[in-house]
Amino acid sequence: MANEGLWQQVVKLNGDETARRAKCQYLPEPNRYTIVLLNREYIVNVSEKQIVGAKSQSQAGFAEELCILAYLINSKDMPLADKLTPPQSLRDGQFFFRGPHSLPTGKLEKVFGDSPELLYNAIEGLGTKRHDFGDAAITLYVLPRIPITIVIWRGDEEFDARASVLFDQTAADQLPLDALWMTVNTTMKALVGAVT
């Protein structure tokens, strides 16, 4: 089973305490959580080790499952810092977010670089907040305590398009860096998929 090690940890969690930390809902019979990922509600059935969409009943993909399970295990009941930081400035981020773990901002630049305003079309229904920096910028909650900010700068004759991904300073306290990397990839896939 994919993510078996994470499931083994989730099975041992105290449901009420985990729900408080993760800002989600816990229901003891059967043993399950209801949690929101990218504005979509999922049911985490701990007894059956299965995650399905609350409305669609379709099985969560590997990436979604990993993000949700890692979040249930690691999340902390703490306020946001409300300070944006690049991934390299997170604890150990300068070593992790490079090479194969570089964030794939090139995908965002390719899709939104000529028309940054398309970013706003992509986020309809994702519960986002717009910002006035760059040529287009949004913050969306991937998970209840994990906001991600995406900024797009338009390309022109002089400069190539540019995209940045920023986290709240608390992000590395809520998720390990590999799971944060996966949440960004999951988010980018949703945004790009919404306009292509």
Per-residue confidence band for 57, with pLDDT thresholds at 50, 70 and 90: confident
Asked if 49 and 86 touch (Cβ cutoff 8 Å), the reply is no
CA atoms within 13 A on the CB side of 21: 16
> pLDDT, tens digit, for every residue of 109-168?
999 999 998 888 877 767 678 888 899 999 999 999 999 999 999 988 888 999 999 999
All domains of the chain, ordered by start, with CATH? 4-74 (no CATH), 84-195 (3.30.310)
pTM, two decimal places: 0.92
User: Encoding tokens for residue 177?
Assistant: 């860096």
* Separation of alpha carbons 139 and 151, rounded Å: 9
pLDDT at 2: 63
3-state secondary structure the chain: CCCHHHHHHHHCCCHHHHHHHHCCEEECCCCEEEEEECCEEEEEECCCCEEEECCCCCECCHHHHHHHHHHHHHCCCCCCCCCEECHHHCCCHHHHCCHHHCCCHHHHHHHHCCCCCHHHHHCCCCCEEEECCCCEEEEEEEECCEEEEEEEECCCCCCCCEEEEEEECCHHHHCCHHHHHHHHHHHHHHHHHHHC
Region label for 95, one of left (φ > 0), alpha (ψ between -120 and 50) or beta (otherwise): alpha
- The yes-or-no verdict on residue 32 having pLDDT over 70 is yes
